[in-house]
Every structure is written in C-alpha cells, then in structure tokens.
Amino acid sequence: MSRKKNYMQHPIRYWLVLGMLLSGFGVVSARAVYLQVLSSDYLQSQGDTRHTRVLTDNSHRGMILDRNGVPLAISTPVDSVWAHPKTLTKERNRWPQLAALLGLNTSELSKLVNKHSGREFMYLKRHITPEVAERVMNLKVAGVALLREYRRYYPAGAIAGHVIGFTNIDDRGQEGLELAYDSWLRAVPGSKRVLKDLQGHAVEVVESITLPTPGKNLIVSLDRRIQYLAYRELKAAVQAHRARAGSAIVLDARTGEVLAMVNEPDFNPNNRAQLRSRVFRNRAVTDLFEPGSTLKPFTVAGALESGKFSPNTLINTAPGAIRVGYKTIKDARNYGLISVARVIEKSSSVGAIKIALSLKKKDMWELLKRAGFGETTNSGLPGESPGLLNPPSSWVKIDQASLSFGYGISVTPLQLARAYTVFANDGEMPPISLLRRDAPPSLTRVLPSQTVRKIRAMLELAVGREGTGAAARVPDYRVAGKTGTVRKLTAAGYVDNRYVAWFAGFAPASSPRLVMVVLIDEPTRGGYYGGQIAAPVFARVMTGALRLLDIPPDAPRDGVNKRMVAARAKGGT
C-alpha cells in the first residue's frame, strides 16, 4: 500500500526514470545495429589493420643449367630482417642490441627508421645468415620480423661468370644471361595476409591473396666441362705470359652453339664486393680488336671465287717487302716465289696484299659482310659490339692492302669464331646460340663448298710442321687453323711493343665439329706471336674437348690408338 502510495505521490519521477532507461536501451540497441550491421566492414578493416598485415610472398628465380643439366645458377632461400617503423620507434631502448647484431650502429639505425617513418614496412638487413636470423628473433623486439627471400648462387663461380652474369639483391638480372633472359628467369611474387601478435610479429598466415609464380629454368648451350678446360688454360696462359687480358670461345661448328666462352681477368659472381664493370665486362663480345692474319683465309677465298687464282697459282713475294702508298709492309723473311696455298701456310702479308689488290673492293667487302663482320652475332648478350667494317667506297689502296692481312677492320672474338664456322661447315654459317638447340638451325650460305674445301686444306698446312700454327696440333686429330699477330693501335698510332696474339681454327679437319678462337691481349713474356702464345692454348683445350665429346680421331698414331679405332669400327669399346 505504501509503494502504491509513493508511486501515486511521484508519477513524474517514475516516468522520467523509466523513459531514461528505455532511451538508454534504445541508444545501445541502435549503436549495436550500427556497429554490427551498418559499419561491420569498417570495423573489420580496423581490426585487420591492428592485427593483420599483407606481406610479399616471394618465390625462387629459375635455374640456369648447362646443356647436360648441370646447375650454373640456382636460388637459395635466405631471411631478411624487416620492421614496422612506428612500432620499432617505441623500442628505442632495444636499438643498441639490434643494431649491433645487424652490423649497424645506433645512429645508422635511427636514420633508417626516421627515413621510413609513416610507412608500414622497411628493411633493416637483407640476406642474413641463419645464425643471425635466429639471434634477431630471440631478441623479441616489437615490430621486427623476418621475410623469406632468395639469393642467387653460382656453383661454377668465376669459371662461367662472364657468360652467366649475376643478379642484384632484388634478384633482378644485371649482366650476362641473367640480364638477357631476366623476364624468363624472374619469379612473380605473390602476397599473403598474416596475423600479428602484440609485438608486431607475424604468427600465422590468414590467407594467400595471390600465389607466387616461380621463374622458369633456362638450359644454355655451355658445356661446363669444356668451359672449365677453356677457363683453366686461358688463365694459365695469361698468367704465364703476363698478358693484359685474354678471351677464348669454343663453338659447335654445325649448330653455332657456344660450348665455352671465357675471359681473363675473371670475376666470381658470388662475391658481390668485387663486382666492378671493368672486371665483369664480357670481352669476348664487347671488346674490338684487329684480327690480323686470321683474316687472310677470307682474302684467299675471295681470290679463288674471282677465278683469277687457284691454290697453286704462284705469287712473287720477293724481296719479302712491298710498298703501298707511304707504307712498307714486310714478311717475317723473304719467301720468294710461293703458291697461294703457301701464302696461308707461311702467313705472307706481301702475298696477301698482291692477291687483294687484284680483286674488286666491293667483292672483298661483300664476302666479309656475308661472313658476319660489321654486325653483331645476335647472341643476346648485353653490350655486344657490331665491330667495324668500313664501306668500300671509303677505301684507298692502302686500306684494301691492309684489310687483306687483317688491319683496318675490328672484330670481337665471337665474330671471328662465327666466321670460321664457314670454313668448318662447307661454306655455310649457323646462327650463334647461347641456348641449347634441340633441332638443327637454318644455315646461311657464305661460300661454295668447293672453295671452302680448298681453304680448309690450306689451313691444315698452316698447322703443319712448317706452318706458323704448328703449336696448335692435337695428337690423333687433323687440325686446321690460322695464327694472327697484331700490333696495337693507340692514340699515337701503331706501337711496336704492344701486341694481340690470335689463333682461330677447328677440328677434326676431315669433318669439323668444334671451332675455337683464342686471343691473348698484350703478352709481355715468352714471345708475342699468335703461334707462340695463342696456338698452344687452342691445342690444350681442343685435346680435352674432343675427348670429352667422344669425337673419333681422324689421324690416329700407330699402336694403341689404331687398335682403339679398329675396335670402334667393329662395335667394340
């Protein structure tokens, strides 16, 4: 009765309290509807911002394999240290420990954090060792975590450095095949959403937003065994003769595939501290040299094509010198009256000049152009030079004479090697390839086969006992080739104490399979002639390469080798 009385005495207060309760309930209900229904997406995004993060999901770059499947470039997983700048800023008391572990000082770390303030992501140290990664995580610094990346590793090291090239820290190709085929080899990263804990560490992958795509493998034409042989012998020759530099190339004569390409000085792509342009430049395709007497076979080929000469046509080279314009060109000695074939065997510049001056300038130029001089080989390697071959309209008499023995024209070692496939392949030239070919390529006819066979016989004489290239002979095999010795051209003109030694040849001469060019730049000890310096390198590499590829001998010696050839002919081993 008393409660009813109180109620009746204070009706306004009652309704006021009830109204306030109902209003509060309505507000709470409306807020709940707003938050749970109308603003659910916003709230979810705010929660995601505070507790999840989108990270890059990396994948590995494609491998580079030699023609037999041996890895030349592979990607290995490594960890990089990253941080959330805003979170890391709150952990200043931990900076000295973290900086010391990452090889930084505190001021460097401070500058790094300040530089990336306002961002969600920053690298602290990339590509660290597993030991350092473990110690970083054991510090448990808020906002610091690891990201899986990939580092390129080159098993062959310096042996194939110039051809394979290298990548930068972002796994992008910078030189060599790594750059030439970067779009093929490169992985496409994905992205993933991760859940983070209170310290900002990623603790769980919530979802994969986009899946990463690994790069595709690349099978190249190199044979790692022959590459090693060429590297070893070239390095030994450059060191023995105290030369400035050197290059060597081995081609498959029939397909144009590059089986080996080496340069000295070398560099190890695994050691990023040594990556300097003067070291990693691939001299075999970027540097130009006058080819010297290695060009004489093309002069003689043009002479045979003109119909004015045959291998037995006699040329009077007496008295061992000839004057053209204001210049006098001399032979090593007076060879007197010799045949065209002996011009190649003895490398007579006087004989080559007399032959060249009887030919039309345009015919000489067109032959050299067909052989690929004055244009790149389309190898695809970065920085390849087209060389220099001036048009015949600009030639004067001395230009035509000089060109006959390889002066006044500039070539790369790869260009010269490609040109010699013409002599090794019955007059046809295959396109150069640094990728393994699984089918025969289309060939370009440069010279008639009958002309080439005559030149090939002359080149065999040049490697004979009385030829300038005798040091290039290979036991049990017939070899054909040509030496070259060139005085270097400087700003002051040609100098007498700086030379380039060449040898270009192929084997077995009866059915050529391999073409090789060797260049030694500025030898300073033990001679400077191509026959002294470059020919022995050819012999040592070719000896090993022919046996590695199991190419049958075409000039076996008596005894054991003859029995081996007979056994093979009968199907034995």
**Catalytic residue ranges:** 293
Cis check: omega of the bond before 189, within 30 degrees of 0? no
Burial level of 39, CB count in 10 A (0-12/13-18/19+)?
Answer: middle
The answer to whether 474 and 468 have CB atoms below 8 angstroms apart is no
Say which DSSP state 493 is in: E
What does the block give as tokens for 280? 């990693």
Q: Report CA-CA distances (Å) from 201 to 48, 194, 443.
A: 14, 9, 61
The answer to whether 149 and 127 have CB atoms below 8 angstroms apart is yes
- Tell me which H or E stretch contains 277: helix 277-280
CA 289 to centroid of chain Cα atoms: 20
3 state DSSP class of 377: coil
Pairing of strands 64-65, 218-219: parallel
**DSSP bridge partners of 122:** 83
Terminal Cα distance for the chain, rounded: 125
Q: Which amino acid is at 459?
A: L
The answer to whether 63 and 71 have CB atoms below 8 angstroms apart is yes
The 3 state secondary structure assigned to 335-366 is CCEEEHHHHHHHCCHHHHHHHHCCCCHHHHHH
565 CB contacts (<8 Å, ≥6 apart)? Answer: 552, 553, 556
Q: Which amino acid is at 497?
A: N
214 CB contacts (<8 Å, ≥6 apart)? Answer: 59, 60, 61, 62, 187
d(CA 257, CA 430): 9
